[in-house]
Amino acid sequence: MSRFSLYEDEIRPSPWQHTWREFKSSHVALVGLAILLLFVFFAFFAPLVTPYDPLFQNTESILVAPSWHPNGSITHLFGTDALGRDLFSRIMYGCRVTFGTSLLVVIIAMAVGVSIGTIAGMLSGVRSSVVNHLLDALMAIPTLLIAIIIVGILGSGLVNSMWAITLALIPQFIHHTRTFVRAEMKKDYIQASTLDGANRLQIFYYSILPNMIEMLVVQGTLALSIAVIDISALGFLNLGAQPPLPELGAILAAGLDVGYLSPWNIAIPGIAIFLMVLSITVVGDGLRSALRKRVNR
């Protein structure tokens, strides 16, 4: 029996509840979310669920076939690599390194980019024009190319590749934030807050930021997929994570040497990278669609 409510406003769902209802109506988005949550689980709990040490080398189990292969063994679910290391454990740790560092990179880039973008959006005149043209020039360069150039200057390594990708992603957040802030500054509720005596910090914190969260969620998912691809690419090119650190791109590169003997050493990390990027992209598209439908209702 439904509960009687005298006030209709009490039973109206919040904007985020509307978004979740529209999001879960898409079965593809829910599947993408489930896969993404699996990678999040690996990122936080990989040390607790991996059956072997990802760096342990067993010379008696070199290039063991995966469990579904006729010559495979259940003791090594995904088989082993050329040094006898368990591939399933290395893939889980690789998801931890690749996804975890990508998430950290996006958070830092978002914090810096939103701060600079907000200031740029509130500027006017020559300063605003200079910032706009500079951002347009940086946005025309692919993030991976910018990351390779920065890594070439700083040197190879996972930490340097993280800084490089962070610096490459910051202009995108600045651009989207600046565009959003400039559009919001022209609206009536911002003008009313200004006439009411609010300073720029108060306008941003109380008026602009609450409306910006949805845009940041969507842009954050897009930036996360870019960061995963770039970190994996730098690891594959031996410019990012260095052996023996298990990172998906580095694992894929190491599997090329034994690709003819054990193609699973190439296929499995490649599939992991593909599913990670695909799940992030599907969730981002689902969020954009849900937010668009919520606004149009």
What span, in angstroms and rounded, lies between the C-alpha atoms of 103 and 84? 30
Side chain identity, residue 212? M
Sequence length of the chain is 297
Backbone region of residue 197 per phi and psi (left: phi > 0; alpha: psi in -120 to 50; beta: other values)? left
Residue 4 falls within a domain, yes or no?
no
> What local confidence, expressed as pLDDT, does residue 111 receive?
92
Tokens 């040197």 belong to 155
Nearest CA to 24 out of 297, 220, 290, 293 is that of: 290
> What local confidence, expressed as pLDDT, does residue 51 receive?
87
What span, in angstroms and rounded, lies between the C-alpha atoms of 55 and 89? 9
Residue 220 falls within a domain, yes or no?
yes
Total of domains in the chain: 1
Residues 6+ apart with CB under 8 A from 242: 156, 157, 158, 250
Residue 226 falls within a domain, yes or no?
yes
> What local confidence, expressed as pLDDT, does residue 62 receive?
85
- CATH code, domain with 162: 1.10.3720
The token duo for 241 is 């994570």
Adjacent-strand bridge partners of 86: 80
> What local confidence, expressed as pLDDT, does residue 115 receive?
87
Residue 5 falls within a domain, yes or no?
no
Is 59 in a helix, a strand, or coil? Answer: coil
Each residue's pLDDT tens digit in the chain (297 positions)?
455 555 555 556 666 777 788 888 888 999 999 999 999 998 888 888 888 888 888 888 888 888 888 887 788 888 888 888 999 999 999 999 999 999 999 999 999 988 888 887 777 666 666 666 676 677 777 788 888 888 888 888 888 899 989 988 988 888 888 888 888 887 777 778 777 777 777 777 777 877 887 788 888 988 999 999 999 999 998 888 888 889 999 999 988 888 888 888 999 999 999 999 999 999 988 888 887 776 555
Nearest CA to 248 out of 262, 260, 231, 261 is that of: 231
Residue 209 falls within a domain, yes or no?
yes
Side chain identity, residue 292? R
Side chain identity, residue 219? Q
> What local confidence, expressed as pLDDT, does residue 74 receive?
82
Is 123 in a helix, a strand, or coil? Answer: coil
Residue 201 falls within a domain, yes or no?
yes
Residue 251 falls within a domain, yes or no?
yes
Residue 224 falls within a domain, yes or no?
yes
Domain hosting residue 79, numbered range: 42-266
Please report which residue ranges of the chain form alpha helices under DSSP H. Answer: 15-24, 27-49, 87-122, 126-139, 143-154, 158-185, 188-195, 200-203, 209-236, 248-255, 264-296
Contact (CB, 8 A) for 234 and 224: no
